[in-house]
Chain A
Amino acid sequence: MLRFTLRRAVLMVFMLLGLLLITFTISHIAPSDPAALAAGPDANVAMIERYRVEYGLDRPLYEQFAIYLQRLLTGNWGKSIHTTRQVWDDLVSYFPNTVELVAFSILIAVALGVPLGVIAAVNQNRATDHIIRILTVSGVAMPMFWLGLMAQLYFALHLGWFPLGGRIEMMTDPPEAITHLLLVDSLLRGQFGTFAEGLHHIVLPSVALCLPALASIIRVNRAEMLETLKQDYIVNARAHGLSTFRIVALYALKNAMLPTMAMIGLRFGWMLGGTVLVETVFDWPGIGLYAVQAAISSDFEPIMGATIVLGFFFMMTNFVIDLIYGILDPRVRTQV
Chain B
Amino acid sequence: MNELIKMGLAAGVMAACFVTASVPADAFERRDGEKILVSAQRQAVPTMDPSVKYDASIRTMQQAMYDGLLKYVDTPPRIVPWLAESFDVSADGLTYTFHLVKNAKFHNGDPVDAEAVRWSFERTLTLGKGPAWMLNTFLKAENIKVVDPSTVSFTLDRPFAPFTSFVPWWYIMNPKQVMANEVDGDLGQKWLVENEAGSGPFKLARVEQGTLYELSRVDDYWRGHQGKLGGIIYKLIRESSAQRAALMRGEADLVTGLSPDEFDQVAKAKGIVTSTQPALTAFGIKFNTQGKLTSDLNLRKAVAYAFDYEGLVKIYNGRAVLQTSPFTDAILGKIDVPGMPRKDMAKAKEYLAKSQHPNGGIELEYVYVQGLEEERLMGLILIDSLKDLNITVKMVPLTWANMVARGSKVETSPDMIAIFATPVSIDPDAVAIQYHPSSQGAYYGVHYLDDPELTKMIEDARFTTEWEKREPIYAAIQKRIVDLQPEIFGMMRERRIAYRDWVKGYAYSPVRMTEEVDFYPLYIE
Contact = CB atoms under 8 A, between A and B. Distances in A.
A149 B238 CA distance: 12
Interface string B142-183: 000000000000000000000000000000000000000000
Nearest to A34: B401
Contact of B211 (A39, A51, A167, A196): A167
Contact of A94 (B36, B46, B136, B210): B210
A269 B22 CA distance: 32
A36 B238 contact: no
Given A41-B443, A47-B129, A170 B210 contact: no
Contact of B29 (A39, A162, A170): A170
A298 interface: yes
Contacts of A103: none
B405 A84 contact: no
Given A46-B128, A280-B239, A32 B193 contact: no
B242 A170 contact: no
B29 A281 contact: no
B241 interface: yes
Interface residues of B, number: 60
Contacts of B209: 85, 90, 93, 285
Interface residues of A, number: 54
B457 interface: no
Contacts, number: 143
A39 B129 contact: yes
A283 interface: yes
B21 A200 contact: yes
A196 B400 CA distance: 40
B242 A84 contact: no
B132 interface: yes
Nearest to A281: B239
Contacts of B479: none
A170 B29 CA distance: 9
Contact of A84 (B189, B211, B424): B189
B291 to A, nearest CB: 18
Given A50-B129, A85-B47, A165 B29 contact: no
Contacts of B241: 149, 152-153
A94 to B, nearest CB: 6
A174 B248 contact: no
A203 interface: yes
B260 interface: no
Contact of A30 (B235, B249, B402): B402
Given A85-B46, A149-B239, A170-B38, A40 B53 contact: yes
A203 B46 CA distance: 28
Nearest to A150: B241
B292 interface: no
B157 to A, nearest CB: 15
Contacts of B17: 196
B246 interface: yes
Nearest to A286: B210
Given A153-B245, A165-B242, A289-B210, A42 B133 contact: yes
B483 to A, nearest CB: 26
A298 B408 CA distance: 16
Contact of A283 (B24, B132, B137, B236): B236
Across the A-B interface, give the 5 residue pairs with the lowest CB-CB distance, nearest first. A83-B46, A285-B210, A32-B401, A160-B24, A157-B245
22 contacts: A31-B406, A32-B402, A37-B401, A40-B53, A44-B137, A50-B128, A51-B129, A82-B46, A83-B44, A83-B193, A93-B209, A152-B242, A160-B24, A164-B242, A164-B249, A170-B235, A171-B29, A196-B17, A280-B238, A285-B209, A285-B211, A289-B210
